[in-house]
Amino acid sequence: MIHMAALPLNRHLVHTSTWSDPRSRAWDLVDAHPLNQQVDVFLPSATPGSVGPLAREGFFFYAMRVSPLALLQECLAKPELRYYATLKNAPIDGANTLGLFPSGHLVLVLDHETYTQFGLVGEKIATASGEALHGRRYRVVIELHANNMVDAASSFRARVLACVARFPPLDLLICAVNGRGSFQTIAITDANDAVDDESDASVRKRIEVTSQVQAFAAIALPAQISTTCDRNEIAAVYEWLGLVACRLLSPLSDEYLSTYVSPVEATTPGRAVSLRWRGLIPDTLVRTAVEYAKKQVADGVAPLAAVSVWGFPDTVASWWQKGHRRDHGFQLEGANGYTVLCLPNDTYCIVQSLGAQDATV
């Protein structure tokens, strides 16, 4: 018999507070996690018709093959816009890759040769390829709104542009938002030249994101959750929300399937609605979803509400908090998701999912 080594288990960091507490961390967490790939909102007692204001929330982003130099020049030319960009189908421990945050921070992951050639100050990062000199990866963070990047005559800016000019065209997910929160059209002139002999449709695709509304006619909801937020109680509800995210409306008849027993004490089945968005989802939509869920509970419309957020599991940086990045590792079980559980009496609970190599926020 072969005994497989146990996978590192996820940890869950739980934070409980009230919305009115000046030390509340809820909005800091939402703002610190700008690159998201899925958001689920679970609202007990709701119907598809009653969640219309939230269900109508939508936006668009682009899947684009473009040279990083052209992207950087676009961002520098339009400082009034906030850009979000993450790699599509590229490993976190790959070389010469990037991520772009709406704060204006450009995160570069450089190989040893590129890092030493251009002399940009950064830090060495752990990778799956080990510590061989030419297998090393370095992370460099460039603040696009800093004076040395805004000044077109800056020697530092020239070095940064020369550095990213070495990057090959990359497949990116990109969106841009103006100061009023409206999503903007992106037309990078280099996009059509990034790949030879390919049509414009293959290198630049606009993707519309709308909500997917799932109604549950009779779902066994958790019993009343105490606002004291007992540890075991929250863990059970968090696990149960993961089950709800599967969106199974009826049992599956398959002898090869495992049997799952819900950890929560169920009440009489009731109705509920789940809303889902998938794509490159900015923090602005997450904030709208949390505010809506919070209000539903505060108004007594729902006994509780939950907003679950999944980040991109293989991005150069998952979290950003007060100018410092909190990395998620390339190893198995790295995660960058969280759930905001809205409870009565102005109370909420946040559960962050952390892998074995992840740092807390």
The DSSP result for 274-320, as a single string, is EEEEEEEE-HHHHHHHHHHHHHHHHTTS-S-EEEEEEE-TT-S--EE
The answer to whether 353 touches 236, Cβ cutoff 8 Å, is no
> 257 and 164 share a domain?
no
Q: Which residues pair with 14 in a beta bridge?
A: 351
The answer to whether 12 touches 351, Cβ cutoff 8 Å, is yes
The answer to whether 303 touches 224, Cβ cutoff 8 Å, is yes
> 146 and 216 share a domain?
no
> 63 and 48 share a domain?
no
User: Is a pLDDT exceeding 90 seen at residue 211?
Assistant: yes
**Residue 192: per-residue pLDDT:** 45
What are 326's two structure tokens? 């909190």
CA distance 66 to 117: 23
Helix (H, G, I), strand (E, B) or coil at 80: coil
In a domain, 5, yes or no: no
In a domain, 127, yes or no: yes
**Residue 234: per-residue pLDDT:** 81
If you average pLDDT over every residue of the chain, what do you get?
81
Q: Which residue has the higher pLDDT, 132 or 279?
A: 279
**Residue 200: per-residue pLDDT:** 52
Domain stop point among 209, 228, 256: 209
Domain that holds residue 129: 59-209
CA distance 317 to 260: 34
**Residue 330: per-residue pLDDT:** 46
In a domain, 361, yes or no: no
In a domain, 2, yes or no: no
CA distance 140 to 25: 28
Write down the H helix ranges in 141-282.
Answer: 147-150, 155-164, 200-203, 231-244
User: Is a pLDDT exceeding 80 seen at residue 355?
Assistant: no
> 137 and 258 share a domain?
no
CA distance 356 to 281: 26
Counting beta carbons within 10 angstroms of the beta carbon of residue 135, is it exposed (0 to 12), middle (13 to 18) or buried (19 or more)? middle
In a domain, 359, yes or no: no
> 306 and 214 share a domain?
yes
Helix (H, G, I), strand (E, B) or coil at 243: helix
> 65 and 197 share a domain?
yes
**Residue 289: per-residue pLDDT:** 97
Q: What is the DSSP letter of 137?
A: E
Domain stop point among 180, 209, 238: 209
User: Is a pLDDT exceeding 80 seen at residue 47?
Assistant: yes
Question: Quick one: average pLDDT of 158-163?
Answer: 93
Written as one letter, the residue type at 218 is A
What are 335's two structure tokens? 């995660």
Question: Quick one: average pLDDT of 25-45?
Answer: 89
> 45 and 94 share a domain?
no
Hey, CA dihedral for 134, 135, 139, 142, is it positive or negative?
positive
> 152 and 281 share a domain?
no
In a domain, 6, yes or no: no
Q: Which residue has the higher pLDDT, 351 or 220?
A: 351
The answer to whether 225 touches 233, Cβ cutoff 8 Å, is yes
> 113 and 23 share a domain?
no
> 201 and 328 share a domain?
no
pLDDT digits (tens, 9 = 90+) for 80-129: 999 999 888 666 556 677 889 899 999 888 888 888 888 888 888 765 55
- pLDDT tier at 329 (50, 70, 90 boundaries)? very low
Number of domains in the chain: 2
> 24 and 71 share a domain?
no
In a domain, 214, yes or no: yes
> 145 and 189 share a domain?
yes
Domain stop point among 183, 209, 235: 209
In a domain, 251, yes or no: yes
